[in-house]
Structure 1
């Protein structure tokens, strides 16, 4: 993850006005995912960073809601039991999960599927971002889907980036653990890099509306 997409713990506490104690209490209560606490080496030793957009949005939501509901109730909103999530085809549209072209693409691959668990919905969400970028073809979107289905579980819940590169018209997709930096050879082009963690949070927010 690029430096501009990260915020240090020191800067986070200063910008949001929360205390060290609050931050780690919210972590214990599972209001802030463990995966967002990113350890990196610095000239002072080791420092903790967070994905900037996600943590700032989350802290703002917690501060807005915490006077109206308990921290445990907030935890059930921000960290729902994803293993129980099952949607039918009709729910995909009513929850505005993904666009119709993305769902059609998924159904082309999984013709017999009529119910979808959280990971399947997440894969659709990620593929949807690739398609909506206008930078990838339907064939490349299917490559992204295939890569996710074969490899995502290897990350054991840790956040990763989904990366698509293209060289001489041939696309390659792979997953990279966050934090990371991507360098490609001069004849290859980085088409798009999608943060799977952002897609997880986007999907959870839709499912809890």
Structure 2
């Protein structure tokens, strides 16, 4: 949808950055190639970006670039998982995942000695949506199971996660950030968040 995009010109004005800065960050892989969307306009071809994602990313870069090298930022923003694992006690002691969410995941996925980075992201997202009141426990089960079923396919991918309901029936969707999802008027989007965004936050917290 057009309202979800921002033109390159408007982005540069909004963020107070130059064309050179933007494309340097692109070359350093701080901004994904897929976010540069070419569209035809009445003046010819113009570049647009997913509004929310690009504004949040530019703000993060501006806030961190004086303290963190661009190469380290690239690692932080990369969809590739971090080389980190934690036990259940470490997750709760560091307030990364609540005991309630861990118990829920154990009932569904079994007891684990250690959780991989992607599994921690999975639990973190579930925990966030539960505490926000955006989904029920039944829907949390569905989210955890969907994550588990497709974890290998999600690894290294920049995905948006959507929880939708139609006539009271919940669905969990994983779609690439570059794709636009068109829904009928009877389908309600309950929650929409970016998988890579949560991975970035977790990398920062674990640093």
Bin the TM-score by the shorter chain.
0.7 to 0.9
Indicate the residue corresponding to 1:41 in structure 2.
39
Task: Report the number of matched residues.
Answer: 204
Alignment of 1:68-147 (within 5 A): 68-79=67-78, 82-147=81-146
CA contact (8 A) 2:165 2:189 kept: yes
Partners of 2:201 and 2:5 in 1: CA distance:
18
Taking structure 1 as reference, are residues 112 and 102 closer, same or farther at Cα in structure 2, changes over 3 Å only? closer
What TM-score, normalized to structure 2? 0.79
**What's the secondary structure of 2:115's corresponding residue?**
strand
Tell me which residue corresponds to 2:191: 192
Relative to the length of structure 1, the TM-score reads: 0.78
What whole-Å deviation, never above 9, does each CA across 1:140-162 have from its counterpart, x for those lacking one? 11101111222354356332222
Measure the CA separation in 1 of the matches of 2:193 and 2:79. 23
What secondary structure is seen at the aligned counterpart in 2 of 1:18?
coil
Unmatched segments (≥5 aa) in structure 2: none
The answer for unaligned runs of 5 or more in structure 1 is: none
- Distance in 2 between residues matched to 1:206 and 1:5, nearest whole Å: 29
State whether residues 160 and 174 of structure 2, in contact with CA within 8 Å, keep that contact through their aligned partners in structure 1: yes
Q: Which residue of 1 aligns with 2:162?
A: 163
**Shift of residue 92, structure 1, vs aligned partner:** 0.9
- Distance change in 2, residues 1:97/1:42 (3 Å): farther
Distance 1:84 1:92 in 2: 16
> What residue is the counterpart of 1:24 in the other structure?
23
Q: CA–CA distance in 2 between the matches of 1:110 and 1:168?
A: 28
